[in-house]
Structure 1
Amino acid sequence: MTQTILLDLLEKKEFKAIRAVLNVMNPVDLAALLKDLPAPDLAMAFRLIDKERAAETFSYMDPDQQEALLNIFTNAEIKDILAEMYTDDTVDLLEDMPANVVNRILDNLDRDTRRVINTILRYPEDSAGSIMTTEYVDLRPNMTVSDALQKIRRVGIDKETIYTCYVTQSGKLIGVVTAKDLLTSDSDRKISDLMETNILAVSTNEDKEQVAEMFNKYGVIALPVVDSEFCIVGIVTFDDAFEVLTDEATEDIAKMAAVTPNDTPYLKTGVFSLFAARIPWLLLLMISATVTGWIITSFEKALAASVALTAFIPMLMDTGGNSGSQASVTVIRALSLGQIQFSDFFRVMRKELFVSLLCGLTLAVANFFKIWLVDISLLHTSGLTLSIAAVVCLTLAVTVVIAKFIGCTLPILAKKVGFDPAVMASPFITTIVDAISLVVYFNFASAMLGI
């Protein structure tokens, strides 16, 4: 069903037909279908969705849509939605809503749920505790497989995952057991005989990005979250870990493009907000780029003596910047995947040195023949000689080596001192390399051409 058809059916009050279609759609597709509908039509269509499917659809909606629905719904309707939502989704909702809507949501939550949510909200924003849910299945070691399956049937409908169950004793996590283990074992077998005691768990204050990377490393679908006494307080599920990785990737891309990260969707971000996110970096890079101007000014006499040198400045600066960006992006990616650490610093330097030498020599040779065959022999460019070609090509080779050295080392050093390596990406690297390439160029020119 398209949004146009949905609006047409709503106008004709074909509610039975709408309900039949909406209640077989995936909640993710439902949220996309209802996106950007006018508030009255949105509320009307949403009320035609079954309660459980409606709650899941609600969790996938944009904050603006959620706020519009909450402002329209009665307290009874809000209670129904909140009752079907998982704790972590409710926490996300509270974090996105304005104060007046938050108060209304809290008023419609029962005391126990409010207590759990308040606990989660107290954890640091970037911690595992802030993204965990408390809806998990806990078992006792003295239970039989039959007892465990009966409990899962009784409480599983309200849990975010039932595939992995957590065995606890006096609140402490002592083992895990999977649904596969339970379904393939004798009904009278004890959980203590089945459970895996080598437990992969995370602490409440562990960085959520590191937790998300553990899902990729170990291939799990959920991780238990424990306190300092190894008591289980919740679990982090795969969908929350995937969202963390998506957010981190978006943030890194923004930083690599010299833009302040913004969680708001692009089309819903105001012009002034985009301006505010971009202008600080542009101002910083503009000011830092004035160094390039000072360098050119200080070598005015050299340029006046050989005007042909000027034509190669853009090529040298661009090639240096591109070389540095290649190295920095490769290293930043390896750092984010955990493929390299600070202890690999010299190994990375050695590898990039060999790569830069090969790249620099190849570019220098290719550029020399281009200048000789095209610029000198074919075009007869005034003032251009083989000596100038040698200066340009030697500068090109040295610039590439320096650029790749800077590009590979700065991200590693940034991470070591606690900065985000993504900051040391294209714009920042390019600005540094531009200045260095000019210094190298004019010094070679002065030494080799005697100007």
Structure 2
Amino acid sequence: MAEEILEESEEQLGEQLIEMLQNKEYSKLRHTVADMNEADIAAIMDSMKDEDSLKMFRILPKNLAADVFPMLDVDDQKYIILSLSNTEASSIIDNLMADDATDLLEEMPANVVKKILSNASPETRADINHLLQYPDDSAGSIMTVEFVDLREDMTVQDAINRIREIGLDSETVNVCYVLDGKRVLKGTVALRYLLIMPMDALIGKIMNENVISVKTTTDQEDAAQVFQKYDFTVIPVVDNENRMVGIITIDDVVDILEEEATEDIEKMAAILPTDKPYLKMGILETYRKRIPWLLLLMVSATFTGAIIKSYENALASYVVLTAYIPMLMDTGGNAGSQASVSIIRGLSLQEIRFRDIFHVIWKEIRVACLCGVTLAGINFVKLLLIDGIDPVIAMIICGTLVCVVAFAKTIGAILPMVTDRIGFDPAVMASPLITTIVDAISLSVYFALATNILHIAV
């Protein structure tokens, strides 16, 4: 209910801002947005036409514009950058944090990148080039280089003066980092300690020396898990020699978790990952993201057709067997999907590791037996009382059901773990692919039982 009220008020406010733009009430508009949160402004601008969004951006106060810009949709950022004068573009880029400016470059086409770099200050350009050298999806690629650094021989008063000097240009001042002459990370000092400690206390005496950090080459998802484990809001990033090069803040981690979750969901739904919102993607782009997996799954599904064709005699002799093929295949696919999704989640949260594979298999086998027997028992009663099926055929169907659930859950557990072990994303082993594999196994087991028990020549 609260979300609906919030969305409604945001929509109403957006309509009011557009009306102010159309009526050229620019002073009133500027005064209204000055009291708004930058995330709300960005959400409203994303819903505007490009021309209105650009007008709105130009009306924003300089500092607010810099805060709003990284929150805009990529297409809106591209349009605004290309529409701004060199002076306006330079002002925006130089006011962005280095990590936001780097993210902007990675999303933009070459002509936009050229304009951004040509209008950035030498310091900003150096920071951007520094961050671009790190591998994609690494801690180094998402960190920012703006942080408060201190020395051990500083007093608390010196530290506070240092924060006042560079704090506005830093990503956060809540945690300060103590470095030696070679910029090796020695410790951290929280801002609250600086506020309560005597002004003449030495930083080296009050700093926390037990510092948890991540390497520049650490995968961004692993870095996010460090945040989750220790409840951090910021974490230092160091190189191989423990020299501090930047920090990652909690807002970056939220973006990472959303990005990784979206990517996993898309892979599990047999869609190539994309970083664009649904309504921002064109028809052809959406087609290109979906068709590869559909083609692969269509081709792989022909194996099930081949299996059915090879048992034509069995189907011709007992046509009733055909009616229960969809039920067996669907149940197997659903059972496999349940296991694979649970295992993929456990792997992503590091609750499960490859060394646990035998424990996982043993657990899934027991769960599969309970599920299979329950489903088979209920189905057997239904086949006899409602469908009026011959008891022997009902036993074949229910026996197949038990085997299918057992196979499906075991395969659904094993494949993601093996895939993760060899370095691939386990999400690709989710519903679509496992369902195809289980379908083939379901049919093979079904017809093998039928032909042997009913003595049908293949």
Q: Which TM-score tier does this pair reach, normalised by the shorter chain?
A: over 0.9
Partner of 1:381: none
Partner of 2:392: 387
- C-alpha distance in 2 between matches for 1:225 and 1:199: 11
How far 1:7 moved relative to its partner?
2.4
Partner of 2:431: 426
How far 1:36 moved relative to its partner?
4.0
- C-alpha distance in 2 between matches for 1:340 and 1:442: 36
- C-alpha distance in 1 between matches for 2:145 and 2:436: 48
- C-alpha distance in 1 between matches for 2:52 and 2:399: 68
1:6 paired with 2:14, answer no
- Native 8 Å contact 2:94 2:124 kept in 1: no
How far 1:12 moved relative to its partner?
2.0
How far 1:450 moved relative to its partner?
2.1
Which of 167, 171, 179 is the equivalent residue of 2:178? 167
Partner of 2:265: 253
Q: More deviation in 303-312 or 392-401?
A: 303-312
How far 1:115 moved relative to its partner?
1.3
Give me the CA root mean square deviation: 1.3
Which of 105, 108, 113 is the equivalent residue of 1:94? 105
1:323 paired with 2:335, answer yes
How far 1:40 moved relative to its partner?
3.7
Partner of 1:350: 362
How far 1:75 moved relative to its partner?
2.1
> Post-superposition, which runs of at least 4 consecutive aligned residues in structure 1 deviate over 6 A?
none
1:106 paired with 2:117, answer yes
- C-alpha distance in 2 between matches for 1:260 and 1:19: 41
Partner of 1:408: 413
How far 1:279 moved relative to its partner?
1.3
Question: May I ask how many residue pairs the two structures share in their alignment?
Answer: 444
Partner of 2:237: 225
Residue type of the alignment partner of 2:174: Y
Q: Percent identity?
A: 50
Task: After superposition, give the CA deviation of every residue in 1:27-75 in whole Å (9 maximum; x if it has no partner).
Answer: 0000111124334432322222221111101111112212222222222
- C-alpha distance in 1 between matches for 2:420 and 2:51: 49
- C-alpha distance in 2 between matches for 1:440 and 1:434: 10
Partner of 2:31: 20
Q: More deviation in 220-229 or 404-413?
A: 220-229
Task: After superposition, give the CA deviation of every residue in 1:80-136 in whole Å (9 maximum; x if it has no partner).
Answer: 222321111111112222222222221222212211211111111121111110110
1:153 paired with 2:164, answer yes
- SS of residue paired to 2:376: helix
Q: More deviation in 4-13 or 181-190?
A: 4-13
Which of 436, 440, 452 is the equivalent residue of 1:435? 440
- C-alpha distance in 1 between matches for 2:238 and 2:184: 8
Stretches of structure 1 that go unaligned for 5 or more consecutive residues are: 377-383
1:44 paired with 2:55, answer yes
Partner of 2:196: 184
- SS of residue paired to 1:262: coil
Q: TM-score, normalised by structure 1?
A: 0.96
Stretches of structure 2 that go unaligned for 5 or more consecutive residues are: 1-11
Q: More deviation in 240-249 or 31-40?
A: 31-40
CA 447–40 in structure 1, closer or farther in 2 if over 3 Å, else same: closer
1:125 paired with 2:130, answer no
- SS of residue paired to 2:59: coil
Q: TM-score, normalised by structure 2?
A: 0.94
Residue type of the alignment partner of 2:199: S
- C-alpha distance in 1 between matches for 2:342 and 2:90: 49
Partner of 1:307: 319
- C-alpha distance in 2 between matches for 1:354 and 1:107: 63
